[in-house]
Structures are given as C-alpha cells and as structure tokens.
Amino acid sequence: MTAATQEKMEFQAEVKQLLNLMIHSMYSNKEIFLRELISNSSDAIDKARYESLTRIEVLGEDKTFRIKVSADKEGKILRISDNGVGMTRQEIIQNIGTIASSGTKKFVEQLSGDQKKDMSLIGQFGVGFYSVFMVADKVVLTTKRLGSDEPAMRWESAGDGSYTLEEAEKQDRGTELEIHIKEDEKEFLEDYRIRSIIRKYSEYITHPITLVTTPDAENKEAKEEVLNDKPPIWRRSKSDITKEQYEEFYKHLSYDEDTPLAWTHNQVEGALEYTTLLYIPGKAPFDLYNPEKSNGLNLYVKRVFIMNDCKELLPSYLRFARGIVDSEDLPLNVSREILQKNAVIQKINKAATKKVLQLLETMSKEEKDKYQKFWKEFGNVIKEGFHMNWENLDELKRLIRFESNKTAAGEYVGLEEYVVRMKAEQKDIYYISGETRGAVEHSPHLEVFKSKDIEVLYLIDPIDEWVVQSLADFDGKKLLNVAKGDLDLGELTKEEKKSQKQAEGKYKKFMKDFEEKTGDLLKEVRVTTRLTESPCCLVADETDMGANMERILKMANQKVTASKRILEINPDHAIMQSLRKMYDADPANPKLKDWYGLLVDQALLAEGSEIKDPAGYVSKVNGFLTDMLAKG
C-alpha cells in the first residue's frame, strides 16, 4: 500500500473523548504513559510466547524476547520496540481505533476530573495506550503480526480524532513505536528520566527491558543497559523485600494506585513446588459482580507467564484477590481446558484458598478497622462461599459480618464478638431479615429484644437469606429468626411466660373467633411474649418460608406458594383488651371481622409485606375514623 492508497480513518466517539482528555491533560503524573506502553509490550510478548508453545517454528531464529527503549534528543523522538505478537491491520483497528468492550466504555463514563482517580482508571480499564498523547503531538506505530502472511502496517495519529493506516517495510515480528515528544515534555527524552520511570514502575516486568543510552562526551558509543535484571519479586526471600516493594508490585499487577490492605507470600517445597503472592485490595473493581469475570490471579510456570485471570486458582467467592502463582510442576503448554481437571492446580487452589482465608481472619482480629473496610467492599462476595464451599465453612463463619441493633449503620459485628457479649442466660443467636436496616429496626418482632437488651443481627442483603441456610449454628449456638417459630428466650422471659399462660385462658374463645372470621388467611392466632408495644405481629411457622424470602423470590419472578402465617397478639395492649371485651359483649358483632382484617393488614405493613386489598383496608380505616369522629 503506497501513500496514494493510505487510508484515513476516524476514531470511535469514546476514543475521541479519551484523546481529548489526554491531549489537554493538566495531570502532573504524565510519566505513567511509559509504564502503560511497556506493559503493552510485555503483554504482546506474553501472547507471542504462549502461541509459540505449540508452534515454536513461528519464532524463527529470534527466540529471545525483549523490550527496547531509546531516545533521539535531536529529533525529539522516544522509541519503544518489542518482538512480541504484533498486530494485523484488523487488530490495529480493533485494539486502537475502537473501545470494543462494554467494561472499557465505562471508563469514559467514570472519568471524574480527579487526577489520582482518573490515572488509576487508565490502567484498570486497559486504555493505557492513549495516555501517550499526554506527552506526544504525534505517534507512529509500525507492527507485523507473528505467524501471519499479511504485510506489516504503519499507523499514525496526532490524536486529533483520526488516524492513518498503510503498509510498511518491516520483516521481523513485533511492534515499534515512534513517539514525537511535545516541546514542553522533553524531560522524557533524558536517559536519567527514562531510567527512573522504568525502574519505578516496570521493575517487575519479566522480560528484559533495555535502555539504549545516548552517546555523550564520556561515552562515545551508545550502550544497552538492562533496567530490570533482578529476579521476580515472588522468587526472592521475604526478608529481602520491603513493605514498599510489596506495595509497588501490587500496583504494577493490579493498576490500582492505592495500597493493598494485606498480602501473603509463600514458597512451598516438597511433593509440589510453587510460590504464591496474594493480595487483598482495598477497593472493589468496577466489574466485581460481572458473571464473566474470573479472579485476578496470574499463572506462571517456572517464571514464564502463562495467563492472567486464571479462574482455576481460587474459588469465585475469592475473586477479589490479586496476585500470582508460579508452579514448577505444570507443563509450559498448559491450556485452560487442562487446568480444569489438573491435580496440581486443584492442590494449589486448595492451599491458596486457605491462605487467603487465614489472611482475612488475621486481619479481622488484629486490624479490625481494615477488616471493616474490607467487608464493606467485598462482604457480599465472601457470602457466596456459604453455598459453594462447605470445606471451609468454619472459616467463613468466623469471617462473616452483619449489622445489628448494637452497631451503627454501616458498622458490623462478627459471630465470635456476638457470642462474647451475649447475656449469661442467653442460649441462642438471634437475627431478623428484611429489605433495609430501617425496615427491620422498627419491626415489632424486635420489641422484647429491645426491652431485654438482647442483640439481634440484621440480615438486610438479599443473599443473606441463602447464607443463613448454611449458617444454622455457631459455637454450639443456634441461629434463630425472631420472626419465625414460637419464641422462647428461656430464663430471660420467665415472668412473661407465666403471664402468657394466664392470658391464653382469657383469650381462648376470642382467638378462635379471630381465626374463624379471617377464613384461610391465618394458620393460627396465639398469645405472644415477643411484643411490648404493638398489638400484634405475624410470624412464620418454624418450617415455613419467611416473609422476606417470599418477597425476594417474587421480585425475581419466581413462583411462590405463600404459606399461611401465624398471628401473635399482645394481651396487654389496649386494642386487644378492647376487642376482647367487644367479643365478650357480643360475639356476633359484625364490626369484629373488620377489626380482625384491619389488624392483619397492619401486621403485614409493619413487616414490609404487601396487603391483598389496599382499597378495602382504606375503606375499613375510613369507616372506623368516621365512627370515632361521630362519637367525638
């Protein structure tokens, strides 16, 4: 393709918006452009090496992978080259001309103008290439695809919304970048500046990065200096690695500008030999709940990169973890299909899972503020483990946290802490489930617990209904739903039980009439000890589905057969006492049925459930109000 047939093409709208941000950037941290471009070169080499595992012949004579950086001060050009996989014409258009994935499009939507936040997003969303336009007024990219018969291609853009494509003269595989540096950004052409940036950000790239130093008065000839000649950090002794180095490697690995909450570094020798370096991030990524998202661990074999996001290395409920696994026992040409059934991987998965859970448990005990932060970000992901990992159920029970009537909103308590502060006479752990904290903390089911100063856990996330099915007990104590079954607080309600027995005799006929006149609506009407302020409440039988679970399933368009509820009445409440007197005076009084229906509807509303006949409810209320006003 000649200049006459050179194609001019437009960037996608999202790319134009991104380029505009970069070109007019006032960010002081412009040096990250070099980090991003070297990271891209490293990825390209990883792909080439992976493709060559099954087709070694495609590499030809050039089997040593490398990244080379050089600066032409006179021409104001910074050059970066690699002998990685390269790109075809179509791949250039897909990788540079457009932002294809929905996740990457979200990058543009999430830009805030905050320097630190936006710079962090650049790496996380995989759009780092465009950061070069913070320092360049023109970029020329020449590339040839590994194993392809297509000619090399030359791509050029000034970041003005368009780019050109044409065939180029390049015989060897890989990509070369010519970055024409802006007049006021010439510091990035200085060897010392390039060297410091690469050593700061790219020390952990596993392929050699060489800087071709510029000749000067002392050195008449250009020299190649390897800038990352140390062993990978995970291969070094833990005693030789500083806290700052661990944190910097995490940033390199995750594109997260914030430091991790914790990490664990383990080198295992014996029947299996492998190394793990696992991190707990401080903030959830944007795609944490993407069903196609795997976990963030990278797999190496004998220090050779195999793949990122290897989902076989950790269960999905620990997908927030970042880090690497480097095995000595896997073949270099291992594929994802092989990994799924590989015994070595399964053993590493089991051990890595234990390490992450132990790291979290240590944090929960020794750094409670950090763990509170972790739980706010990743708690619901951990909860997924309750129905997919019975082997580690005990560990998960110690990690889980809930809000309660003893915590402030947004603060949490663990089951161990709950047990420690239980009342001496208390034998069970109590919880209530609902849609929000506001809904549950005003529930009538909590009245006796408030009066007795008993802690009740708030299960206010939809997943909690499934979690509690695997959380039947802890430390020998049952977890009981305060809105299910016949409440028995043992010694804590000894006096109330005596009063309940007396009231059952007085209210026996009244309760039977209540049941009969509400038809099939209720399973039973009974006297309760759980109420101190409300006239009545609805509870589910011990074996029936709770109201909150019914609501969640209905919202998910699941067919739910509603179970009959039990109405519990407070015999000391003025309304119940007046109604019993009304019944005793005239069991046939037609107003009784309306009162019964009104109380059932109020009990439904109090627990956050829908009533079957809102118009009928309003009519009853209006009728009673009219009677009262007429008498008044």
Residue 267's closest CA among 226, 207, 324, 318? 324
Domain identity same for 171 and 50: yes
Q: The domain that contains 149 carries what CATH number?
A: 3.30.565.10
Domain identity same for 280 and 211: no
Cβ atoms of 80 and 38 closer than 8 Å:
yes
Q: Of 179, 198, 226, at which residue does a domain stop?
A: 226
Residue 626: CB partners within 8 Å, gap ≥ 6? none
- Residue 490's pLDDT is 74
Rounded to 5 degrees, what angle do the CA atoms 129, 133, 138 make?
105
Q: How far is C-alpha 239 from the chain's CA centre?
A: 32
Domain identity same for 106 and 237: no
373 assigned to some structural domain: no
Helix (H) or strand (E) holding 213: strand 209-213
Q: Of 210, 226, 242, at which residue does a domain stop?
A: 226
Domain identity same for 18 and 145: yes
Q: Of 226, 260, 279, at which residue does a domain stop?
A: 226
Question: What confidence tier does 291 reach under pLDDT thresholds 50, 70, 90?
Answer: low
Residue 424's closest CA among 458, 445, 454? 454
CA 628/CA 620 separation, integer angstroms: 12
- In the predicted structure, residue 101 carries a pLDDT above the cut 50: no
- Residue 384's pLDDT is 93
CA distances from 111 to 121, 136, 284, 339, 623 (A): 8, 21, 17, 37, 57
Question: What confidence tier does 82 reach under pLDDT thresholds 50, 70, 90?
Answer: very high
Residue 329's closest CA among 274, 383, 370, 371? 274
Q: The domain that contains 576 carries what CATH number?
A: 1.20.120.790
Q: By three-state DSSP, how is residue 499 classified?
A: helix
Segment 143-153 shows an average pLDDT of 94
Q: By three-state DSSP, how is residue 390 classified?
A: helix
Question: What confidence tier does 103 reach under pLDDT thresholds 50, 70, 90?
Answer: very low
174 assigned to some structural domain: yes
Chain segment 229-248, per-residue pLDDT in tens: 778 899 899 999 999 999 98
Q: Mean pLDDT of all residues in the chain?
A: 87
Number of domains in the chain: 3
Domain identity same for 185 and 333: no
Question: What confidence tier does 125 reach under pLDDT thresholds 50, 70, 90?
Answer: very low
Q: Which residue has the higher pLDDT, 273 or 217?
A: 273
- In the predicted structure, residue 280 carries a pLDDT above the cut 70: yes
- Residue 183's pLDDT is 94
Domain identity same for 46 and 130: yes
User: Which of 276-290, 300-314, 506-520 is the least confident region?
Assistant: 300-314
- In the predicted structure, residue 67 carries a pLDDT above the cut 80: yes
Residue 449: CB partners within 8 Å, gap ≥ 6? 405, 430, 455, 456, 482
Q: Which residue has the higher pLDDT, 487 or 71?
A: 71
581 assigned to some structural domain: yes
Domain identity same for 237 and 222: no
Cβ atoms of 353 and 393 closer than 8 Å:
no
- In the predicted structure, residue 124 carries a pLDDT above the cut 60: no
Q: Of 16-25, 337-346, 569-578, which one has max mean pLDDT?
A: 569-578
- Residue 304's pLDDT is 75
- In the predicted structure, residue 290 carries a pLDDT above the cut 80: no
CA 203/CA 252 separation, integer angstroms: 9
Domain identity same for 128 and 259: no
- In the predicted structure, residue 251 carries a pLDDT above the cut 90: no
CA distances from 428 to 29, 71, 90, 155, 420 (A): 56, 71, 65, 69, 12
Q: Of 16-25, 93-102, 248-257, which one has max mean pLDDT?
A: 248-257
Domain identity same for 149 and 87: yes
Rounded to 5 degrees, what angle do the CA atoms 394, 397, 400 make?
150
Angle between helix 508-517 and helix 591-606 axes, rounded to 10 deg: 80
**Alpha helices (H) in 446-546, listed in sequence order:** 447-451, 464-467, 494-506, 508-517
Cβ atoms of 495 and 549 closer than 8 Å:
no
Domain identity same for 602 and 531: yes
CA 167/CA 169 separation, integer angstroms: 7
Segment 84-95 shows an average pLDDT of 92
Share of the chain above pLDDT 90, in %: 55
CA 234/CA 411 separation, integer angstroms: 35
What range does the domain containing 518 cover? 492-542+555-631
- Residue 495's pLDDT is 78
- Residue 27's pLDDT is 60
Residue 526 has, within 13 A of its CA and on its CB side, a CA count of: 16
Q: The domain that contains 257 carries what CATH number?
A: 3.30.230.80
**Alpha helices (H) in 132-255, listed in sequence order:** 191-201, 243-254
- In the predicted structure, residue 365 carries a pLDDT above the cut 80: yes
User: Which of 272-281, 313-322, 383-392, 402-411 is the least confident region?
Assistant: 383-392
Q: Which residue has the higher pLDDT, 548 or 447?
A: 447
Cβ atoms of 211 and 195 closer than 8 Å:
yes
58 assigned to some structural domain: yes
- In the predicted structure, residue 226 carries a pLDDT above the cut 80: yes
239 assigned to some structural domain: yes
Chain segment 458-499, per-residue pLDDT in tens: 999 999 999 998 898 999 999 999 999 888 887 767 778 888
**490-520 per-residue burial string, b: 16 or more CB within 10 A, e: under 16:** eebbeebeeeeeebeeebeebbebbbebbee
Angle between helix 591-606 and helix 574-585 axes, rounded to 10 deg: 160
- Residue 111's pLDDT is 56
Cβ atoms of 146 and 87 closer than 8 Å:
no
Angle between helix 102-110 and helix 115-124 axes, rounded to 10 deg: 170
379 assigned to some structural domain: no
Domain identity same for 42 and 87: yes
**Helices and strands in the chain: count of H runs, count of E runs:** 21, 23
- Residue 100's pLDDT is 46
Question: What confidence tier does 19 reach under pLDDT thresholds 50, 70, 90?
Answer: confident
Question: What confidence tier does 102 reach under pLDDT thresholds 50, 70, 90?
Answer: very low
Angle between helix 574-585 and helix 508-517 axes, rounded to 10 deg: 90
Tokens 């005793």 map to which residue?
584
Question: What's the token pair of residue 52?
Answer: 């060559």
Question: What confidence tier does 120 reach under pLDDT thresholds 50, 70, 90?
Answer: low
Domain identity same for 216 and 288: no
- Residue 107's pLDDT is 54
